Amino acid sequence: MEMTIEEKKLSDIIEKIERGGMFYHIHGTKITEILKNIAFTINLPDSLSPETLAASMIEREEVMTTAIGDGISLPHPRNTLISDVKDERIAVCYL
């Protein structure tokens, strides 16, 4: 039986979270410190350094916050940092 579009999208998200990982107790008191700690904690593809990711997320946060409310934020770079779709990932981080 073939997956529906919704099932395929959910499957893609689950695969990206499995690649990115789940991390607890990310420390920091300022957003820049938290973003740096995230970049050095999560599973990154070999083609991306934590320094580059941290700088890019901080730059994005300075343009506009990625907070969506209720203690949830979706930090991400403003521009694409990877070129291979297989390297896409979602990291779930808890402070």
> What tens digit of pLDDT does each residue of 46-84 get?
999 999 999 999 999 999 999 898 888 999 999 999 989
Residue 25: per-residue pLDDT: 96
Q: Specify the pLDDT at position 7.
A: 85
- Interval 24-32 mean pLDDT: 95
Assign 6 a pLDDT band (cuts: 50, 70, 90): confident
Q: How many CB atoms lie within 10 A of CB 26?
A: 17
Name the phi and psi angles at 41, rounded to 5. -105, -40
pLDDT in tens, 36-50: 999 999 999 999 999
The pTM assigned to this predicted structure is 0.85
